[in-house]
Structure formats: C-alpha cells, structure tokens
Structure 1
Amino acid sequence: MQTAVGVFGGEVYTDGISEQPLMMENVGHSDHLAVSSLNCPPFIAVELCREQIGVHPCDKRRTMSEYRNMFPAIDFSLIESEEDILWKPDVREKVEAVSARGLKFLEWLWTRKEKEIAVVTHSSFLFNTLRAFGKDCHPNIKSEIHKQ
C-alpha cells in the first residue's frame, strides 16, 4: 500500500484539507509525511492480491484496524476478517495456490466497471499468476512470460 500511495497518491497532506489522508505520517518504518487523497484515484485493498502467504513474518498482514489507521482513505470493505487468517507460521502457500488465487483476482478484476486500473502488488504474486498463461505459446514467448 505504501508503494501504491507513493506512485498514485497526492501531495503532502496538510491540515484543513477536507479529504482524509491516503496515508498517515511515518507509516511502517518510514519517515514519510502524510499523503493527501485529494484528486487521487480510488484505492481498493483486495485480499486475493497478496504476496505468497505463510512462514515468513513479512508476508503476514497487520490487523485491519491498524491498516485503517495508517491508510484512512483506502477502501478496505472487501477484506472480511480483522486478523490475517490466511497466514500460517509453519505452512508456506504452494505456488500453485498463489497462481489459483491470482486467477481468482483476475476474474474479480474483470467485474470492475473502470476502464483504467493499476494493480500494485508483490513480485511473487505477479510471477505466479502469470505462470498460468502462455503454456501453449512458442518457447521464446513462454520464457518471456514465465521469467522472474
């Protein structure tokens, strides 16, 4: 979310702006100023569009309360649980499961009415989602689609 805000967020947030900040000051381990949501596209958090889940603490998400406090203008309405019920400390999600989750995300994406959408996610999610495509392509094309 920090990356998405950095790319698509507005100017530095100042008191008196009627819109909520997109990101609060000093989110995570950064010393970044708050970012305004004024004149920004809508931001929607989608649980399907996450890094490979499990084992690594960096792949566990925070509680939704924490995220809502850090990113007040992001729409978290599609996230169903307060806690991260998908992350397991002793089981790493299989790459086939990441690919399947990626395909579900793409199916959801096709239901959106917007004509222009930017997806900001992690490399493992993208890599494993795109691996599901190009199996019947020429080997040169397949190698391009399937490289890290």
Structure 2
Amino acid sequence: MSFAWDILGRPETILASARKSDTGADTEIATIFTHASGAISTTISSSRAAGPNSAHIIGTAGRIDIDRTWYNATSFRFSAPDGTVREHYVSHVQGRGMQYQALAAERLVAEGNLSGDILPIDETVEIMATLDQIRGHIGLVYPSEA
C-alpha cells in the first residue's frame, strides 16, 4: 500500500475485501485505490501462502516489472507497450539493501532529526490513517479498540 502511495499519492477512494481466519486475523486482503490523477492501484497480500511478491507499474508508455522481493534491492525490467524489454536492471546490492536505511537513520540521529525528508513523519501518519480505513472496510478491530 505504501508503494502505491509513493508512486500515485494518497488514495481518494478505498475498497478492501479480506478473508479472516477462525481467530479473526486477516489472512488475505485485496485493496483497490483510486488516486487524484484517476489512476487505479491494487494490492493483494496473504499470510496463508506465498505469492509472487513482485510489483508492477503499468502505464500508457510501458510497464515496469519489479522482481521478487520488490521492497528490497532487486532487479526490474522496463517494457514498451508492445512487450519489448527496453531495459533490464540487475541489482548488485549485497544483502537486502537495508544498510542504506541504517546509514540514513544514523545520519538523522547524528543531526538531531526525528524525521527524514524521504518519508516524513506526517506522511507516515497519513499512510497509517489509510491502513485504518482499510481495517474499517474489512471489519478488523484490534482488542485494545473493542
């Protein structure tokens, strides 16, 4: 969901559907967002089984397919509308790429900053509010809220 927010901005409309376990945990969830530009984004996640764990950005000028595991340093392809691969980037980052986040956090602490400019706290709070709206759509209530 945060990835769709990063690419397309805050969703203006949210639809969500979930499958819950016997304990009430949301084990599968699908979302559809409409953004201010008119773009539509979707997410699907599951704790029942592993999915492809990839990400795709599809537009009129082509598409970007980000390989598994898309939220780490990974490879991607840019394809033209006819499907021709125009660029294939292969990641050569060691590990998961988290060292860059650790270095950025270290810099922020050294500077006395509580928030970074890449993902400011205010935006993080807005993203969490969107997640709360999704929970509302699927009827997920945490025990502390009951």
What TM-score bracket applies, with the shorter chain setting the length? under 0.3
Higher RCO (Cα < 8 Å, 6 or more apart): 1
TM-score (norm 1): 0.24
Which structure has greater strand proportion? Answer: 2
TM-score (norm 2): 0.24
